[in-house]
Structure 1
Amino acid sequence: MAQPDKEDELAGSEQPFVAHLVELRDRLLYCIYGIVAAVIVLAIWPGPNGLIDFIAQPIRAHMPPDAKLIAVGVFSPFFVPLKVLLLVAVLLVLPWLMYQLWAFVAPGLYSHEKRFALPLIIFGSGLAYAGIAFVQFFVLDKMFGFIQGFTPESVAATPDIASYVEAILGLYIAFGLAFQVPIVVMLLVRFELVTIQKLKEFRGYFIVIAFIVAAVVTPPDVISQLALAVPMVILYEVGILGARWFVKATRAPEDSSDAAEKTS
């Protein structure tokens, strides 16, 4: 039996263009306020120097005890810690930034879609943090151990702090984005851009793509390439498993009742 038409949940939620611009401005200001607050907190503790010492631990573990990273650029001792401080602040308030994005688009979502927006934000932030932690506590240690093993004894490996920070920040971003594979897969299925069956059939191609991406965005060593490609493949499978549940959980009430009628 057909269900009677219900009033559109979005009726009356339309806003004029100027109102959208004002809302966008407010959300951007909230993002800036969050980043500034995080910068102030991190500047107090552990401080820029403490952050530099923390991210330098993986490479210093494979250097002689009295060796230090060097600063080649004239302004590197000043700008590099500030760069690290700003990036860590952004990462620290990542859930807040994603929440502001959700709050901006929320008026255009149905109630059943809003219900799972925040869990996706939390899940996506957790995956990003997991990717960064994986880099800091596993990938960098194995990568520098592999690289230092090829350094001749007559060569003193004293990396420049600016180039080191640039390299590992690139890895942080690469792994943080790569670990979003389950989110992307679930959203593709949810918006009916691809089916779960097609994703299973595409599995072999994705493995090739994962290794190509790893070869492009990571340093030219097999350790870091495998460390990125293998988790991407595993997370792809996680996304396939989670997509079926996510589609059912975010189905509109009308769709759920229709599906129940078809099975009865």
Structure 2
Amino acid sequence: MDKLDTSVSLESLTPAQVRALIRTKDHTGSTSGLAKGYLQANLLILPADWANDFLLFCQKNPVACPLVGVSEPGCRYIPELGHDIDIGRDVPEFHVFHEGQFTQAVYDLDELWRDDLVIFALGCSFSFEEALIQAGLKVRNIEQNTNVSMYDTNIACLPAGKFSGNMVVSMRPFTPKDAIRAVQVTSRYPKAHGAPVHFGDPQAIGIDDISKPNYGEAVDIYPGEVPVFWACGVTPQNVVRHSKPPFCITHSPGKMLITDLLSNALAVL
């Protein structure tokens, strides 16, 4: 790719241009608001002998884990997501787990890759943020240039094989009127978690302090607004901590794989 004009904002770049910056480690931050209109994906990478159980977990929990692609064992490519994507290099940051415990963050998988690893790509709520903006709604984490706020909850996922655990949610605040519109807009995007799973009282889903997200960053909630919660693709990381596979790699929360798939191509009209 030609050298980018440094005066060009990240938000105006194509998916391939953003991935090029990520591959050279010139962008290692959040991908919220980048490559507008294109599907972003959460990642979970597991040994092949755990993969079938996680596939079943996704099938049982499609709101939290909307599957958009699966690799062959040992392959770092999922061609249907983009022909030039090397998943081992095109994500801003990865998290590595051993026996369910986070052990390190890395910026590529060159030294960790194994021939038995299977990649699962899951839809992400970042993909519907542009649709919310086009509907006239303000997305607070984009307004404030922060990572989205994400929280552990008491909402249990359906167990499958070796996997079980609770849902993680992302939060965006809206007035009640705008929250209704947000439900209407995001319901069209089941591969990006679809409609919210809760709005209003955070304690009802096990969140004691809305100002202290478990992942991402806190955003302002203005008077008259209510927090609106969507299922989040960080759910598999919570499930990994609970289920303790011997080895696992995920994306870092908020730092996604940007695909070449148009979000609207997967929308329900």
- More contact order relative to length (CA 8 Å, sep ≥ 6): 2
Q: Which has the higher helix share?
A: 1
Q: Which has the higher strand share?
A: 2
Same fold (TM over 0.5): no
User: What is the TM-score with the length of structure 2 in the denominator?
Assistant: 0.28
User: What is the TM-score with the length of structure 1 in the denominator?
Assistant: 0.28
Larger Rg over CA atoms: 1
